[in-house]
Amino acid sequence: MAAARRTAQAHGYGGLNFRDLAAQVGIKAASIHYHFPSKADLGAAVARRYWEDTAAGLEALLARTANPVRCLQQYPDIFRRSLESGNRMCLCSFMAAEYDDLPEAVKQEVQTFADVNVAWLSAVLSAAAVVGPEESEQRARAIFAAIAGAQLIARSRSDISVYDALIASYRTAGLLPA
């Protein structure tokens, strides 16, 4: 699963290949097929694990950081870590760009990733009193989209400082708390 995650973060769903994945981890492709009968099954499992890990990480951030404004300030760091790891993308953001070519099961997991992030952001925005409850979901979607876009632009330049500059500009503009 970890090797499939790294591959998908670098090459997307289209880059998942049973033979290459088996070679990376030193097993036979048939062993992967035993657990994941199709590429769609593998892609959905990897995306599900990714959003589950992200959800757990977001909850851990809330647990260790009592201040919701501070949580919002740290949120972009989650996406920055992918760039720090070989200029990779957030797995579900990468897969979302391939949306038309994804099997339905993978699409659902990618959508769940976005939903998990938007729900968390919305709750934390409300708790921080950055916006009212009626505006929190719209702001959460804007933050999520802006951060994913910043990651995409930085990756296309192979320059993490581009990501940092964009996040700083979001703070200056008031999209993210400074």
Instruction: Give the three-class secondary structure for 113.
Output: helix
User: Residue ranges of the domains in the chain?
Assistant: 46-173
Cα–Cα distance between 115 and 134 in angstroms, integer?
Answer: 17
Do 77 and 150 contact (CB within 8 A), yes or no? no
What pTM was estimated for this model as a whole? 0.90
Burial 20-48 (b: 16+ CB within 10 A, else e): ebbeeeeeeeeebeeebeebbbbbbbbbb
pLDDT of residue 83: 93
Do 20 and 62 contact (CB within 8 A), yes or no? no
Instruction: Going residue by residue through the chain, which has 178 residues, state the pLDDT in tens, using 9 for 90 and above.
Output: 889 888 888 888 888 888 888 888 889 888 888 889 999 999 999 999 999 999 999 999 999 988 999 999 999 999 999 999 888 888 888 888 889 999 999 999 999 999 999 999 999 999 998 898 899 999 999 999 999 999 999 999 999 999 999 999 999 999 999 8
Which residues contact residue 146 at a Cβ distance below 8 angstroms, ignoring those fewer than 6 apart? 166, 170, 175
pLDDT of residue 12: 86
Fold of 46-173: Tetracycline Repressor; domain 2 (1.10.357)
pLDDT of residue 43: 92
Nearest to 157 by CA among 146, 165, 168, 77: 165
Do 43 and 102 contact (CB within 8 A), yes or no? yes
